[in-house]
Structure 1
Amino acid sequence: MKSVFLYLNFFMFILVGCGESADTDSTTEPIDEQKKDEKITQKTIDGFEYTDYVLSEEAEKAVANWEKYQELAIQVSYLKKADLSFFDSEAQLLIDFVEKFKSTIPEDLQTNPIVSRVVIIETALLRLNANLTLDNIDGEEKTQSLKAVFVAMSNLNFQINKKLERDLYDKITSDNF
């Protein structure tokens, strides 16, 4: 009787086990190659929603001799036209550029808010470079890192304007007293 019970349990175990393996079909979903191969166009970039601050006249004068800022501003303007050539080059070239950019900040602009915005730009540029050069990054991630560069550059411009405006205000108030 025990042996019949054991055989019956053994066959039930095999039937249940076989039934489960037949039901589980390992299917893989195809990767959406079209999404990976999306090209970043100027139309995509124009669709970004962010506040784009430009430099005031005083700020333009303050950064006129800051060559690396001028070069970055030109490259960002190319980037707004979907020219990614500067940002999808070798990472070491971009790292060298950023180091020179950080080290040549004019003395009168070396405040904590401006230096922190420069560090944010560094992070955004390096992230953009990594996302553009890696093959396994989807188009959405690339466009988000593009937008991050634009926002970081805009925020740097805002901080430069704000600093110079504050300096002007301090000068006016100190002259009145």
Structure 2
Amino acid sequence: MRIRFFLFNISFLLLINCGNDKPSSEIKTEETKSQQPVITTKVIEDFKYTDYALSSRGETIVADWGKYKELAIQVDYLKKADLSFFNGDKSLLKGFIDTLKLSIPDTLKTNPIVSRTTIIETMVLRLNEHLTLDNIDNQLKRESVKEVLIAFSNLNYQINKKLERDLYEKIKSEF
């Protein structure tokens, strides 16, 4: 009697566990999905945001601001899906952003521009965290890339806005 009960339990467990295996084709498709690149140039081009460029006056003002130029180059690489700068060591990124903030030209040291550089710091460090951690969702990584691009674009917008405001303050009324 015990042998029958024992055999019945073993056969019952075997029947229950046999149906849980995934077909090998499903396993292969999951592996290929995880091996696909997360961020491509096509994905970045499909982002919907307003990309502001510096005006000619803005470019002459930031010509001596070396860290801004370096950041602009790295953002251009980011638009081409080259994440090597943002995927690097966090302490190097932090040092870069600190020197960027300290080297702001005196003509551009206003609260809106300083706050935009702080926002860039936050977004760059957040992107670094999302890229270096393996358990972060791909959609969140894409959103972080988009946030860095938006933050840099908004810095350009604030620089243009400040220079335009300075120009209009120099113009005196004829009346």
TM-score (norm 2): 0.79
Change (3 A) 1:90 1:55: same
Separation in 1, partners of 2:118, 2:42: 28
Which residue in the other structure is 2:110 paired with?
111
Q: Provide structure 2 residue ranges, at least 5 long, that are not aligned to the other structure.
A: 1-19, 21-26
- Larger CA deviation: 33-42 vs 58-67: 33-42
Which residue in the other structure is 1:149 paired with?
148
Q: Within 5 A, what are the aligned runs for 1:156-167?
A: 156-167=155-166
Change (3 A) 1:147 1:33: farther
Which residue in the other structure is 2:122 paired with?
123
Q: Within 5 A, what are the aligned runs for 1:165-176?
A: 165-173=164-172, 176=174
Which residue in the other structure is 2:132 paired with?
133
After superposition, what is the alpha-carbon deviation per residue over 1:70-97, rounded to whole angstroms, capped at 9, x for unaligned?
0000000000000000000010110000
Q: What is the alpha-carbon root mean square deviation over aligned residues?
A: 1.8
User: Quick check: 1:36–1:138 contact (8 Å CA) kept in 2?
Assistant: no
Change (3 A) 1:165 1:82: same
Q: Within 5 A, what are the aligned runs for 1:28-177?
A: 37-39=35-37, 40-173=39-172, 176=174
Aligned residues: percent identity? Answer: 60
Shift of 1:67: 0.2
Shift of 1:173: 2.6
Shift of 1:134: 0.5
Shift of 1:64: 0.4
Shift of 1:124: 0.4
Rg larger for: 1
Change (3 A) 1:35 1:106: farther
Separation in 2, partners of 1:59, 1:35: 44
Residue aligned with 1:158, SS: helix
Separation in 2, partners of 1:38, 1:106: 42
Runs of 4+ in 1 over 3 A off after TM superposition: 32-38
User: Quick check: 1:36–1:137 contact (8 Å CA) kept in 2?
Assistant: no
Letter in 2 for 1:103: L
Residue aligned with 1:64, SS: helix
Separation in 2, partners of 1:92, 1:154: 24
Shift of 1:138: 1.2
Which residue in the other structure is 1:16 paired with?
none
Letter in 2 for 1:46: E
Shift of 1:33: 6.1
Which residue in the other structure is 2:23 paired with?
none
User: Quick check: 1:131–1:137 contact (8 Å CA) kept in 2?
Assistant: yes
Change (3 A) 1:79 1:170: same
Change (3 A) 1:142 1:106: same
Residue aligned with 1:173, SS: coil
Residue aligned with 1:73, SS: helix
